[in-house]
Chains A and B, each alone.
Chain A
């Protein structure tokens, strides 16, 4: 079974530039999550999708971040314009359902450096 795919693996940009990350969850997984993990901290949930609908985006800085999951499969997360404090690893995760016993499967993450 293929895992959660993310690209790119690394990205370096200058502040005020834009960047996009891509995620393809495990086939059949209805829920998809984007997390931001700043160095030395736990993952912080940015946005959660159920199929192609947004369940929660309360922690997403909507003035600069956007995300979509067209057709309920793969997803993109965009930052425009980037700030220095956006430097972090962006993790995508998926699960079959949102039941309490469903664990998350994670991708390898995208490490973003904003200079």
Chain B
């Protein structure tokens, strides 16, 4: 079964507007971490933001925030004031504390295109 689901293969957003990228996950662990990475066309994987399963506050990093709804097992990424440089693939990932096997798994990604 898919551990990470990203239901939006592609998204468009107008420059300076906010956009939400969806991510749902599946785990039976109580202790886990959720991560978002950005992959521009150059191919590098850039870490954006982290949310721990025990964190009560939603994580924020500059223009990035994570809308964490634990009961729904969702960890959506919100990008405020989109910029042209935000055009890239975005991957949601999960790390389970007690899963010694598939310890850091990624979703299929969402391609974000920012329109001028």
Residues of A within 8 A of B (CB): 31, 33, 35, 40-45, 48, 55-56, 58-59, 89, 91, 93, 95, 98-106, 108-109, 111
Q: Which A-B residue pairs are the 9 nearest by beta carbons?
A: A106-B45, A100-B33, A42-B106, A100-B97, A56-B101, A42-B108, A43-B106, A42-B109, A103-B47
Whether the pair A55, B109 counts as a contact (CB closer than 8 A) is no
Nearest-CB residue, chain B, relative to A31: B103
Chain B interface (Cβ within 8 Å of chain A)? 4, 6, 31-33, 35, 43-45, 47, 50, 52-53, 91, 95-97, 100-109
Q: Quote the shortest CB–CB distance from A54 to chain B (angstroms).
A: 11
Known contacts A89-B43, A106-B45, A58 near B102 by CB under 8 Å? yes
On chain B, the residues within 8 Å of A43 by CB distance are: 45, 91, 106
What separation, in Å, do the CA atoms of A59 and B97 have in the docked complex? 20
Contacts of B53 in A (CB 8 A): 100
